[in-house]
Each structure stands twice: as structure tokens, then as C-alpha cells.
A and B are shown apart, each in its own frame.
Chain A
Amino acid sequence: MSTKAAIHHDEHHDHPKGMKHWFTTTNHKDIGTMYLIFSLIMFFVGGIMILGVRAELFQPGLQLMKPEFYNQLIGSHALIMIFAALMPAATGFANWMIPLQIGAPDMALPRINNWGFWLLPVAATLLILPFILALFGVGDGGAATGWTLYAPLSVQGGMGVDFAIFAIHILGVSSVLGSINVIVTIFNMRAPGMTLMKMPLFAWGWLITAFLLVATIPVLAGAVTMLLTDRHFGTHFFDAAGGGDPILFQHLFWFFGHPEVYILLLPVWGFMPQILQTFSRKPIFGYKAQVFSLIAIGILSLVVWAHHFLTAGMPVPALLYFMYSTMSISLPLAVLFFCWIANIWKGALTFETPMLFAIGWIILFGIGGLTGLVLADVAADAQYHHSYFVVAHFHYTLFVGGIMGIMAGVYYWLPKMTGHMYNEKLGKLHFWLTAISFNLTFLPQFFVGLAGMPRRIPDYALQFAEFNAISSVGAFILGLSQLLFLYNIIACARGGKKATDKVWEGAEGLEWTLSSPPPYHSFSKQPTIK
């Protein structure tokens, strides 16, 4: 098909204009953009919630809010950040980049793609609505149970728990639809010559994420449905007095919850080597080793869940099994770290914003990974468990591993998506502010946790005061720095220096062969991979 014919083909569609276009679009790039914008909005919503929490924790005593409201904020912060900010960001990238990277014209199931996205705002509304209703005197606000919704606390909880349950159902449907789409696209729509073992690592990471989602979301859906019937229809799944077991909920929840961690991280692990490759101008190191490590981590993540509640009491053999299996995740993860660093080694490095984020990501995510290794130890875990040590640990994995990773991806692909270069100076400033204030926020939490501060408490003993004050200051700087990110994205979308097709000198891969921004039907002419 000639270029002229391609243009003609594009024009042939009578696209609806305005909002109707966005409601009905089946184009992978449009939907990807919507996912990314939605994620960005929810990132700020979740962020504002936690700034309320950090403000309350700035000093001992209750200053700003009641403990009930505090508990609602921490749970909603987590649900929103995980399900409405991080997961949609990864799905947004999947929509945008998987067809471009494997040489496909679009995702395999475009209408399901559209539906998968439009379920999200509904679910997010359900998460936020109880807070708004409470303002008008209806109900008592959001779920005050933490995002884990542990029974029997959640059985006892107010209307907010029901909202959370339905939000989780809808988010789950959306994720499963998205996952099926990714799996079908990757298995059926790769360009000729692109074997699975030639496929970009991002597609690999997402393929494993998609399988994990399909495997675990139904378990979560089952668990919260059982919770719903316990709450309203007199069942006793989690009520010991009726022959049920409260710990069953924890098993079901974390059977989903642990793979969820990798669901959030695998897509980032996928595109990060690509960024390292681009800015060290050196081919990806140990491609096969990385693919097998990603698969190994995906499988291991399904069999280690109980390390999230080791203090609930388990037989010694079970404790030992979960300890050693958790420790063994460090092996494939170490292979990945090794490959990432080897990728930089003897490259010709330059430090544009995506590369800064990638390097900061490796270092800080390393702290998250290593503290995770320590946390696996059952005896010491009795101390770490549900203390601020754990809070610090999972923010080093999820904020850095997830969100900072996504930020690297945003800066890396933004010129390709918008056709404009972002402001490099502001980007670098955003990185340094984020990295420094992140450490200011979370490093003290390791110490305060070791000293004995439990998580999820609205008020604390005096010996924890200094660290909490530092942490709160850090959190506000961290929060405000993200306004730079927002500004940079908006400015880049509206204009700026024209981006070339290749954008980065060292960029490799099919997406960089297309124009910036790419044509409406990405590959009208099927590329061939040698």
C-alpha cells in the first residue's frame, strides 16, 4: 500500500468528533492516551489523600482528622494508587506500545479495549463516592479497613466496604479484559519474522503480567464476593463462630496480592532495559536470561503469598517453605539486576531524563529488593511485620519500582506519542526533586519501624516524632514536585521542539521507525523482521 493510499484509507473512516470520539474510539493509541491521562489524574487524587495522612502524622496528637477518617484515607490511598494509578499507567503503555513494538496495526480486540478503559472511571467513582456522600451525611465514608480489607474488620465496616468491593469487581473485569487483549494481540499479531524470542522485553513483561492477572483476579473477585455475602447474606466464610476462618480471607487476598506486586512491576522491568539500551547505545544484555528470569519471577510470585501474614500463625514447615520460596525470588531478580548493570557497563552513556529515572530506579529499587530479602526471614519478620519498616520497603518497591519506572517510560516515549520534545531541564529538575524527597520521606520510615512504630496508626508515641516530622516534610516536597511532571507533560502535548522519528540517538525497535506521532493505523504496511 502506498503512502497516498494509506492516507486515503485513514480519511475513509468517518471519526466522530469531540467527546463522542473518545467514548467510541477503538484506536489503540487513543485508548492508551485515555488510560495514561486517567492514571495521571488518579495519581494526584491518591497523592492528595496521603498528604492528608502525612499532615496528621507531622506531630504526635490528633490535629486534623478523626482516626476513622484517617483509616479511610490510608486504605483509599492504596486502592487508588495500585488499581487506578499504577495499573492503568501500565495498561496505557501496553496499548500504545505493544502494537508499535510487535509491528501490528492495532490491538486484537479493539471494542473490548474501549470497554476495558471506560469501566475504570466507573470504578474510580465508586472508590471516591463514599467520601463525597459522607459530606452530605450519607454513610460513614470510605472503607476504613486498609486496602487489604481483612475480615472480620471489613465485615464489621460501613458502607464504604461495599463500595470498595464493587469497585474491585469492576476494576478486576477491566484488568482481565485488558489482559486477554494483550495475550491475544501478542500471540496473533506479531509481524512476520518476530518470533517470541525476538519480541521486545516490554511485550514479554506484559505477557507475563497478563497471565498473572487472568490467574489471580478471579481469586480476588471470589474473596470479595464471599466478603459481600458475609456482610449482607448471613454466610460465615470468615466468621469462626459460624464455622468459617478469618485467615482464609488473608490466604485468598494475598494469593492475588502477591502476584499483584509483580503485575505492577513486570511491565516496568520490561521497558527499563530498552531505556538503558537507548542511552548506553549498547544492545540489550542477556536478553534470553531476562526473559527466563521474568517467567521465573512470574511463576514464583504465585507460590509465596503467605509471607504477607507470617505472624498470623502457621505450622513450622509452612513458615519455612514460605521463607525459602520468598528468598528464592532474589535469584531471578538478581539476574535482572545483573543484566541491567551489565547493560550500562562500557556503554556510551548520556543522561537524559529517562536515563536519570532509570538509574535512580535501579539504585532505589535495589534497596526495596534487598529489604525484601531481609523481610523474608520469619523470625525477624515478627518485628518488621506491620511496622513502618514494611511501609518503607513497599514504597521503595512500588513507588520507585512502579511509579518512578512509569515516569522513566513517560519521558522516554512522550516525544514519540506527542511528536514534541519535553522540556529537558524541567525533566531533570523533576527527577532530582523526586529522588531526593522520596528518600527524605521513606528512609526515616525504616528507622521508625525498627524502633517499633506500627503502621496504620493515626497518632504515635513521642520517641517517633522526629522521624515522622522529616517524613512529612519529604512527602510534601515529593507531592509538590509532581506538579512539575504535570506541567511538563501538558506543555509537551501542546507544543515544543519537533521530535524526530527516532527521537533518541540510540533508540532501537519498531516503534522508532514510525513517524512521531505515529500514523492513526500504526503499521498500514506490515514490517518484516529479519
Chain B
Amino acid sequence: MQFLNKVFFSLFLALSGSSAFADYTWNFPTPATPMALDTLEVHNKFMVIVCIIFIVVLGIMIYSLINHRKSKGQKASKATGPSTKSQIIWTIVPFAILLYIDFILMGIPAYHSVVFMEDTKTNADMVVKVTGLQWRWQYEYMDGDAKGIKFVSNLSTPQDQIDNKASKGKDYLLEVDNRVVLPVGKKVRLLMTSTDVIHNWWVPAFGSARDAIPGYLRETWVKIEKPGVYRGQCKELCGKGHGFMPVVVEAVSEAEFKTWAQDQKVKLAAANAGADKQWSKDDLVAKGKEVYIKNCAVCHQAGGQGLPPTFPALTGSKIANGPIFGADGKYLKDSHLDRLLNGKNVMPAWKSILNDTDIAAVITYERNGLGNSVGDVLQPSQVKAARQ
């Protein structure tokens, strides 16, 4: 059978003339957590059961289709229901078997799986908050060694690959700039929420999928058993970027996790320190461009032309060219800074996603690039002050 599959696919590949195809699978990916293992076992068992039912019933049908033909001289019986004792038994037996399959053979393991899956709290070692945003994930470590670490994870596949202008990499669409790092062997409780629409955080190898719903906390858990990189995707339609917000988890040993957490804290401190220093305009514009490409270009487009009417153009926009601060030194309502910090309608509130330096940089970039030339500079310290 395996051989036949290979032949079939080689033939198909030859016909379609494409060689960039990676491996294919027929079933769930190799489980990496106890929950995924449980799910796979339950799934395999159920599949065997339904395949047996299907084959038995199909067999009976095919027997009848071959033998009970008019062309073979078959005279139609006039039975309209079971009449003799043995016929009644024949009718009740399949029904009883199905009752047994539904509520005993499938029902009992299914019950245990549900209870196992929903038990997020017992012996949980750490808590990570996952926030879905259009169209990226934000991770925040709530306790333990990594407490306070918070970052956003964006798709890192270049647009050229998506537009077929460059050849596609091995992890096409399943690669991000910042992987979420988790220690192996620890039960991690994942709290899910969202800031805009409903998303769903799904890694097939973990067997867990849970919606991230704005204004609500939902939870699931993972206990990764082997170090490695695990990839998944958003599984709830969340707008045009739905296919482009992957989940990439890097599972490492506990010691490595501690080192990673330490590194992140140092980087975070450096970034925060950056907020207090005076930046040059060129530095801000250069940094701002990076931030813009990563976070803003998906809607407002790389050249700032936007996708009206939903995503307005920044080039020549009133907000990006208007004043930021009023006479009293406070930022104005509906100013460029206000819009970035607090968002409006589809525009997210970036104050919880980007740090002061990033916000200052991207605003400076938008006012001095993308065809705009306001000429002013917004310093990170001003953003920091505006947050107060």
C-alpha cells in the first residue's frame, strides 16, 4: 500500500511538474504532548470502528447489488418490516451494537479525554497568556523565571515568497520572527484572549486548540515532552490575514529556558532604557521602517497607499501629517499618536503591543517617509510621557 502511494504521488509530481513539494502525511502529526497522544489514540480507535462499520455495511450492500438483480431473475420480496422472530433479532442486534459503540466503546474513552483535556489547573507549573491580534500573536509570561517577558510574534515569510516572486522556503508560512519558548516536561497553562476578533491558537502536534475571544479568557494546556520546534496556525477565520498568522513554539530544556528568559530580560531592559535616551531622526526613521514593515504594512501596505475603504492610505493622510501635541503639551485627540496608542475601529491599540521606542520610531517614519515630509521627530520619552 505504501509502495502504491509512492508510485501514485511520484506519477502525480511528474505530471504536475513541480519538485518543491515537502513530505505529506495521512494522519495527525506525531504527538508531542500527552493530550495529543490521547487524541491520536482516541481518533485512531474511532477511525477503525467507523471503517469496520462502513466496510460491513458496504459489503452487505454490494452483495445485494450483485445478487438481487432483476436481470438475474430475482423476484422481489414483499417484506415491509421484520416479521419472524429471527428477523426481529436481526433488526435489534445492529441497533444494540450501535448503542454499545456510541456510549460504551467510544463514549467512555471520549469522556476521559474530555476531562483530561479540560483539566488545565492541576499541577500546572507555569502560566502563559496568549493574545490573538489581527494578524499576529502576543505572548506574555505570567509567572516563574520568565515573568514579565512579553513580545509579539509575526509571520516572517517574505511577501515575495507568497507572491511567487521567490522560491518558497521549507517552513513557508509556518515561520515567525519571535518564537514562543516553553520548557519541556512542564505543564504550561495557556490563557487565551484577543483584542479584536476571534482567533484560535492551534498546534496540531499538541492536540490542543482553543478560541481566543475578545473580552474573555479561555484556557488550555500543553506539556511538551521532547525539545524541538512545533508549528501551527490560526484556525478561526479572522480576516484577510487569517492564513498568515502562524504559531511557532520552541520547546527547550529547563536550563536553556532559564538562560533564554535571562537574555530576554536583558534585552527588554535595554529596550526600555532606549526610551529614555534622545534618538536622532535618522535612527528613528530606520528603526521605524522595520517596525512598519513588520506590523503595519499588511494593512496600510508597504508604500503607505493602504487598502481603502477599510485600511486608509497613510501617504498624505490628515492624521499622519497633522499636529500631534496641543498648546498644553498633551497629545491631541485623533492625532497620530492617539490613533497609534488607542486605536479606532479596525486599528488596534498598539500601546499594549509595541514599546515606547517602536511607537516613536514608527510615527517618525510615517511622518517622514511613505511620501510624507512633516519633518518633525517624536522621541520615545515623549511616548513614555504620553502613556502616563
Which residues of A are in contact with B by a Cβ distance under 8 Å?
59-63, 66-68, 71, 139-140, 144-146, 150, 152-153, 156, 158, 239-241, 245-247, 280-289, 309, 311-313, 316, 319-320, 323-324, 327-328, 330-331, 334-335, 337-338, 341-342, 344-350, 359, 362-363, 366-367, 370-371, 373-374, 377-380, 382-383, 385-387, 447, 450-452, 454, 456-467, 469-470, 506
Residues of A near B91 (CB, < 8 A) are 338
Q: Could you tell me the dominant secondary structure of chain B's interface residues? A: mixed
Contact of A346 among B57, B74, B237 (CB under 8 A): B74
On whether the beta carbons of A156 and B235 are closer than 8 Å, the reply is no
Instruction: Please tell me if the beta carbons of A363 and B13 are within 8 angstroms of each other in the complex.
Output: no
The verdict on B198 contacting chain A, using a C-beta distance below 8 Å, is: yes
| Chain A binder among B170-178, B276-284, B334-342, B372-380 | B170-178
Identify 24 residue pairs between A and B in the complex whose beta-carbon atoms are under 8 Å apart, listed by A's number. A61-B163, A150-B237, A152-B214, A240-B214, A240-B215, A246-B214, A311-B209, A312-B218, A330-B98, A334-B94, A338-B94, A338-B95, A341-B57, A347-B68, A348-B69, A377-B106, A378-B110, A379-B38, A385-B235, A452-B28, A456-B242, A457-B242, A461-B171, A463-B25
Nearest CB of chain A from residue B70's CB, rounded to whole Å: 4
Q: Answer whether A379 and B174 are a contact pair too, CB < 8 Å, given A331-B99, A359-B65, A454-B234.
A: no
Q: Given A377-B113, A466-B9, is A382 in contact with B22 using a C-beta cutoff of 8 Å? A: no
Query: Is A313's CB under 8 angstroms from B23's CB?
Result: no
A386: chain B residues within 8 A (beta carbon): 200, 209, 235-236
Across the interface, do B162 and A61 meet the contact criterion of CB distance under 8 Å?
yes
Asked if B387 is at the interface of the complex by the 8 Å CB criterion, the answer is no
Interface size counted on chain B using CB atoms at 8 A: 106
Are A345 and B68 neighbours in the complex by a CB distance under 8 Å? Answer: yes
Segment at the A interface, from B114-122, B260-268, B317-325:
B114-122
Residue of B nearest to A138 (CB): B309
In the complex, what residues of A have CB within 8 A of residue B102's CB?
A: 327-328, 330-331, 373
A308–chain B nearest beta-carbon distance, Å: 12
State whether B117 touches A379 (Cβ < 8 A). yes
B80 at the interface (CB under 8 A from A): yes
Complex partner residue of B164 from A63, A328, A461, A467, CB under 8 angstroms: A63
Among the interface residues B54, B81, B116, which one has the most CB atoms of the partner chain A within 10 A?
B81
- Find chain A residues with CB under 8 A from B12 CB: 466, 469-470
Count A-B pairs with CB separation below 8 Å: 312
The reply to whether B197 and A156 contact each other, CB–CB distance below 8 Å, is yes
Q: Is there an interface contact between A153 and B237, defined as CB atoms closer than 8 Å? A: yes
**Is A349 touching B113 in the complex (CB atoms < 8 A)?**
no
Task: Determine whether the beta carbon of B114 is less than 8 Å from that of A450.
Answer: no
Give the contacting residue for A67; candidates B111, B114, B243; CB below 8 A. Answer: B243
- Please tell me if the beta carbons of A327 and B310 are within 8 angstroms of each other in the complex: no
Q: How far is the CB of A337 from chain B (nearest CB, A)?
A: 7
Q: Which of B42-50, B141-149, B287-295 contacts A (4 or more CB under 8 A)?
A: B42-50
- B:51-95 near A, CB below 8 Å: 53-54, 57-58, 60-61, 64-65, 68-71, 74-81, 91, 94-95
Q: Give the shortest distance, in Å, between B195 (CB) and chain A (any CB).
A: 10
Instruction: Flag if A337 contacts B46 (CB, 8 Å).
Output: no
Q: Cβ of B26 < 8 Å from any Cβ of A?
A: yes
Cβ of B312 under 8 Å from chain A: no
Q: Contacts of A366 on B, CB cut-off 8 Å?
A: 54, 57-58
Query: Whole-angstrom distance between the alpha carbons of A489 and B341 in the complex?
Result: 61
Question: Which residue of A is nearest B9, CB measured?
Answer: A466
Chain B residues within 8 Å of A341, by CB: 57, 60-61, 64
Contact A451 B103 (CB under 8 A): no
For the complex of A and B, the 8 pairs showing the least CB-CB separation, nearest first, are A240-B215, A457-B243, A379-B113, A452-B204, A313-B218, A348-B70, A370-B50, A281-B76
B20: chain A residues at CB < 8 Å are 462, 465
Q: Whole-angstrom distance between the alpha carbons of A308 and B50 in the complex?
A: 21
Contact of A350 among B69, B106, B111, B244 (CB under 8 A): B69
**Other A-B pairs, 15, CB within 8 Å; known A283-B80, A334-B94, A344-B68:** A62-B164, A67-B244, A71-B239, A153-B239, A240-B213, A240-B214, A287-B80, A311-B209, A316-B115, A346-B74, A382-B209, A383-B209, A451-B204, A464-B24, A465-B21
Is B29 interfacial (CB 8 A cutoff)? yes
A255 to B170 Cα, complex, angstroms: 42
Q: Do A450 and B168 touch across chains, with their CB atoms under 8 A apart? A: no
Residue of A nearest to B171 (CB): A461
Residue among B26, B69, B114, B200 with the most chain A CB within 10 A?
B114
A197 to B226, CA, bound (A): 62
Q: Which residues of B lie under 8 Å from residue A451 when comparing CB positions?
A: 24-29, 204
B24 cross-chain contacts in A, Cβ below 8 A: 447, 451, 463-464, 466-467
Complex Cα gap A330–B101 (Å): 10
B197: A residues at CB distance < 8 A: 150, 152-153, 156
Whole-angstrom distance between the alpha carbons of A151 and B97 in the complex?
42
Q: Are A67 and B65 in contact (CB under 8 A)?
A: no
Among the listed B61, B114, B307, which residue makes an inter-chain contact with A319, where contact means beta carbons less than 8 Å apart?
B114
Within 8 A of A (CB), among B195-245: 196-198, 200, 202, 204, 207-211, 213-216, 218-219, 231-244
A327 to chain B, nearest CB (A): 5
Q: Report how far A67 CA is from B53 CA in the complex, Å.
A: 40
Q: Does B352 contact A (CB under 8 A)?
A: no
Chain A residues in 8 Å Cβ range of B388: none
**Docked CA distance A283–B218 (Å):** 54
With a cutoff of 8 Å between Cβ atoms, the chain B residues found around residue A459 in the complex are 162, 173, 243-244
User: A-facing mask of B116-148, CB < 8 A → 1, else 0?
Assistant: 111000000000000000000000000000000
Among the interface residues B13, B110, B171, B213, which one has the most CB atoms of the partner chain A within 10 A?
B110
Contacts of B2 in A (CB 8 A): none
A349 and B163 in contact, given A67-B240, A150-B198, A282-B76 (Cβ under 8 angstroms): no
